[in-house]
Amino acid sequence: MDVQAIRQACLTIATGVTGLRSLQFQNHLYGCFIVMEDIAQGTVELSGTVLRTPTFSIDLEARFDEIGLHYGFITDTQLRWGAENEEYRQCWVKAFQATGHEKKIETVDGMEDVLIELVTEHIPAESSFFSHALHTGVLPHEWIDKALALLGISTAATATTATTVTTATTATTATATTATDPEDTSTVWNRAHIEKTSLKRRLRLTRRARPVFKKHLGSTRRHHYVPIAL
C-alpha cells in the first residue's frame, strides 16, 4: 500500500478546500477509514472493487463519491464527495484492494495514523469535524450545529421547528401537513436526518480502542456495521 501517495492526494485536498467542501472531504475520509477497517477485519467481502455486506453492495470505484453517504459520520446527500479529483479516487481504490489482499489491521492502523496527523495539521481547528467524530463516530451537538450551518440550515429555525415536529406527531396527518410549510419540512428533515445518523452510530458496537496518538488525539473508537431498524 502506497501510504505516501494517498497522503499527498489527501494533502492536496485538505489544503485546498473550505466550508461545505471541507466537510464533504472529512466525511468521505472518515468513511474510507471505516471501509478499510471492515475489509481488513473480514467483516465485509471485497470482490474486485465491489464491497458486499449482508444488506447491500457497493462498487467502491464506480460509486466512490457515495462512501461518505454510507460510512461517514453524517449521511446527508449534500455530502456526496464528487468525482473531480481522480488521483484521490485512484489512491483509495488501490488502498482498498491492497487491504483486501493483505487483511492486516496493523497496516491500516499505520496508514490511518499518517492521515489523522495530516488532518490535524492542515484542517483548521474551527473546521475539524473529522477529529471531533473520530473518537466516537458521532459529532458533539455543537458540531452538529456547525454542520447544519454549512448545509444551509438555520439552527434557530431547527429549534423552532423541533416543537412543530413533536406536536405534529400527535396530530393527524392532514393537520400536520397544513401546519408546516415546505421550507420548514425540509429544515426538519435535515436536522432529523443528522440526529438519526448519530443515534445509529451510538447503537453500534465498539470496534476497538486505539493507543493515544502523538498529537494527543486520544483513543479512537471504531464501530462494527450492525443493521438496525429505526
DSSP H/E element including 180: none
What is the total count of domains within the chain?
Answer: 2
**Quick one: pLDDT at residue 159?**
46
In a domain, 86, yes or no: yes
Of 123, 88, 92, 115, which Cα lies nearest the Cα of 17?
123
What angle do the packed helices 86-102 and 105-122 form, to 10 degrees? 150
How confident is the model over 99-125, as pLDDT tens digits?
A: 999 999 999 999 999 999 999 999 999
Distance CA(35)–CA(29), nearest Å, equals 10
**Quick one: pLDDT at residue 82?**
82
Q: Are residues 94 and 61 in the same domain?
A: yes
In a domain, 228, yes or no: no
Q: Are residues 103 and 177 in the same domain?
A: no
Q: Are residues 152 and 132 in the same domain?
A: no
In a domain, 72, yes or no: yes
Q: Are residues 22 and 69 in the same domain?
A: yes
Between the CA atoms of 93, 99, 101 and 106, what dihedral angle is there, to the nearest 10 degrees?
160
Q: Are residues 34 and 79 in the same domain?
A: yes
Q: Are residues 129 and 22 in the same domain?
A: yes
In a domain, 229, yes or no: no
Which DSSP symbol is given to 206? E
157: containing domain:
144-196
Distance CA(83)–CA(77), nearest Å, equals 15
Of 105, 102, 138, which Cα lies nearest the Cα of 37?
105
Q: Are residues 110 and 178 in the same domain?
A: no
Per the listing, cell 492502523 goes with: 109
Q: Are residues 212 and 100 in the same domain?
A: yes
How confident is the model over 14-65, as pLDDT tens digits?
A: 998 899 999 999 999 999 999 999 999 999 999 999 999 888 899 988 899 9
Q: Where are the alpha helices (DSSP H) in the chain?
A: 3-14, 19-41, 67-71, 86-102, 105-122, 129-134, 141-150, 155-170, 173-179, 182-203
Distance of CA 175 to the CA centre of its chain: 36
- 5, three cell numbers: 501517495
Stronger pLDDT, 128 or 153, i.e. the higher one: 128
In a domain, 156, yes or no: yes
Q: Are residues 17 and 84 in the same domain?
A: yes
In a domain, 230, yes or no: no
Q: Which segment of 104-108, 109-113, 149-153, 162-166 scores lowest on mean pLDDT?
A: 162-166
Q: Are residues 99 and 184 in the same domain?
A: no
Q: Measured in Å, how far apart are the chain's first and last C-alpha atoms?
A: 38
Q: Which residues pair with 47 in a beta bridge?
A: 50
CB distance 189 to 162 below 8 Å = no
Distance CA(199)–CA(230), nearest Å, equals 9
- 59, three cell numbers: 462498487
Q: Are residues 111 and 32 in the same domain?
A: yes
In a domain, 178, yes or no: yes
Q: Are residues 70 and 101 in the same domain?
A: yes
User: What 3-state DSSP class applies to 230?
Assistant: coil
In a domain, 35, yes or no: yes
